[in-house]
Amino acid sequence: MQGNSATPPRATVTPMMVNLGDVRLGTTVSRPITINNEGGAPLTVRTTWGGTRPSTDLSIAPQAIPNIAGGTFSEIQVVATATAEGPITGLLVLNLNDPARPNITI
């Protein structure tokens, strides 16, 4: 038999909304998001963009988020690069292996 006594991963994210402010055409602005794993087992995070018309001017860095060990955190950057005039909007969806919160939308 094999087993693991670690508690499951438990994700919290701050902030839950990112306002990048005014982004001048041709420039890039970024803001951090912190993903905490308050559980014991590693937290896996995969990202997708959602919303009715997510902007292609939005991205995250790093693109691939390494597993987050229990009791630790990882910081990612939400990045906007204005390529055209107008609003830049989107929903960042975090797909997680947290059994209590399999998805968090920012």
Burial of 7 (0-12, 13-18, 19+ CB in 10 A): exposed
pLDDT digits (tens, 9 = 90+) for 71-102: 999 999 999 999 999 888 899 999 999 999 99
Q: What is the pTM of this model?
A: 0.88
Which residues, in sequence order, are CB contacts of 64 under 8 Å at separation 6+? none
pLDDT digits (tens, 9 = 90+) for 8-63: 999 999 999 999 999 999 999 999 999 999 999 999 999 999 988 878 899 999 99
CA dihedral sign, ordered 32, 104, 14, 43: negative
Determine the Cα–Cα distance for residues 7 and 17; give it in Å rounded to an integer: 28
Q: Are strands 28-37 and 11-14 parallel, antiparallel or unpaired?
A: antiparallel
